[in-house]
């Protein structure tokens, strides 16, 4: 018994899928809708959001929240700070206070990780 069934090949051709995969490896998208717009604009093929999510899943992409990683310290900047701090300590009066402030203070939203498609 012969089964001549052929599965659905999808809306995009293999070279288009390879191009999309390469593009997604080089660009991070926050919303699936933006990828749908990219595909529509570049390949003239329309996907629904759920269809694009299925395609992304087949291409092993996932929607995830990255971890925050502290910046690597700048050794030269740290050494300059130590030298200027020593100079300040040696030149200030005995009762003069020294205040420290974290130089990384930013708007709270800027330091939070966000979800993206990787």
* pTM confidence score: 0.56
Confidence (pLDDT) at 118: 66
> Which whole-number Å values give the CA distances from 111 to 66, 67, 68, 105, 114, in the listed order?
12, 11, 8, 9, 9
- Over the stretch 55-87, which tens digit does the pLDDT of each residue have? 999 999 988 776 776 677 788 988 998 999 899
pLDDT tops 60 at residue 106 = no
Domain parsing of the chain, residue ranges:
10-96+108-118
35 vs 75, residue with greater confidence = 35
Q: In whole angstroms, what is the distance from residue 31 CA to residue 18 CA?
A: 20
| Dihedral angle, C-alpha 31, 55, 61, 45, nearest 10 ° | -50
Confidence (pLDDT) at 107: 52
């Amino acid at each position: 018994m012969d089964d001549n069934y052929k599965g659905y090949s999808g809306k995009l051709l293999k070279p288009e899928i390879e191009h999309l995969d390469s593009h997604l490896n080089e660009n991070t998208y926050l919303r699936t809708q933006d990828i749908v717009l990219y595909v529509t604009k570049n390949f003239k093929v329309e996907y629904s959001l759920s269809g694009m999510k299925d395609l992304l899943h087949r291409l092993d992409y996932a929607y995830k929240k990255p971890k925050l990683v502290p910046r690597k310290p700048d050794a030269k900047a740290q050494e300059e700070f130590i030298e200027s701090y020593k100079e300040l300590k040696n030149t200030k009066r005995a009762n003069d206070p020294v205040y420290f402030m974290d130089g990384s203070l930013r708007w709270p939203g800027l330091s939070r990780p966000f979800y993206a498609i990787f």
